């Protein structure tokens, strides 16, 4: 593939997706069996030009921290399908940190945890939200009887500024100053 085509493709897909596609392309190219089986085909010219027909570009911000770096979200039929940096954003000016550059994975990643899990005999089992809330609530109340300081609230770099606000309020209501951010450990 010519450098010109690589440049165009990386611009259309976004750098991160382009690297993933390049890695996938390398793996597929190395497997002649897959290529000759007819299981894959070349994208049509229309698909390369416009992989998400009818999509809209929406200017938004990364919510992972209070900087609020600019993101251009591509949305197709109400679904966030692709992301690019907002080059003209006044704070981030076309840049992102490692968390923001892959914000779309917080909703699209196949590894995203979508329901509560409980480890039983060394294995993770899916449980209902009611069971999770009741079991965690009961254990917390049991701890609190001893002292509110028996609990430690540990925030996450993957929760938003607004979620962090509620998290801090919850620790205060609980009655402890044992609250910190996971980055500090
Ligand atoms: S991209 Fe990084 S620095 Fe910018 S808002 Fe998101 S988490 Fe904060």
- The pTM assigned to this predicted structure is 0.58
Ligand 1 in reach of 85 Cβ (< 6 A):
no
Q: Map residue 80 onto helix, strand or coil.
A: strand
pLDDT in tens, 107-127: 889 988 999 999 999 999 999
CA 98–ligand 1 middle distance (angstroms): 8
Ligand 1 in reach of 96 Cβ (< 6 A):
yes
Predicted confidence at residue 26, as pLDDT, reads 47
pLDDT block averages, 10 residues each, the chain of length 185: 44 50 48 62 91 95 86 96 94 90 88 94 97 96 95 84 91 95 73
Predicted confidence at residue 32, as pLDDT, reads 52
Which residue from 97, 155, 159 has its CB within 8 A of the most atoms of ligand 1, so it is best to mutate? 97
Are the beta carbons of 117 and 127 closer than 8 angstroms? yes
Q: How many angstroms separate the CA atoms of 70 and 90, rounded? A: 8
Ligand 1 in reach of 63 Cβ (< 6 A):
no
Predicted confidence at residue 15, as pLDDT, reads 47
Q: Which domains does the chain have, with CATH numbers?
A: 1-51 (no CATH), 52-112 (2.20.25.90), 117-184 (no CATH)
For the chain, the straight-line distance linking the first and the last C-alpha, in angstroms and rounded, comes to 45
Which residue from 100, 101, 103 has its CB within 8 A of the most atoms of ligand 1, so it is best to mutate? 100
Nearest CA-CA partner of 171 in 146, 145, 144: 144
Predicted confidence at residue 95, as pLDDT, reads 92
Secondary structure element (H or E) that encloses residue 71, with its range: strand 70-76
- Nearest residue by C-alpha to atom 6 in ligand 1: 100
């Amino acid at each position: 593939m010519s450098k010109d085509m690589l440049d165009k493709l990386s611009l259309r897909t976004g750098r991160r997706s382009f690297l993933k596609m390049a890695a996938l392309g390398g793996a597929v190219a190395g497997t002649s069996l897959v290529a000759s089986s007819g299981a894959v085909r070349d994208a049509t010219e229309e698909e390369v030009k416009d992989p998400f027909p009818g999509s809209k570009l929406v200017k938004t911000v990364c919510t992972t921290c209070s900087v609020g770096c600019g993101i251009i979200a591509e949305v197709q039929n109400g679904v966030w399908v692709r992301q690019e940096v907002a080059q003209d954003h006044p704070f981030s000016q076309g840049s992102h940190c490692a968390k923001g550059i892959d914000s779309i994975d917080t909703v699209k990643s196949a590894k995203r945890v979508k329901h509560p899990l409980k480890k039983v005999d060394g294995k993770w089992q899916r449980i209902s939200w009611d069971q999770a809330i009741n079991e965690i609530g009961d254990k917390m109340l049991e701890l609190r009887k001893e002292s509110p300081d028996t609990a430690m609230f540990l925030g996450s770099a993957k929760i938003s500024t607004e979620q962090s606000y509620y998290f801090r309020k919850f620790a205060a209501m609980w009655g402890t100053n044992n609250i910190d951010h996971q980055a500090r450990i």
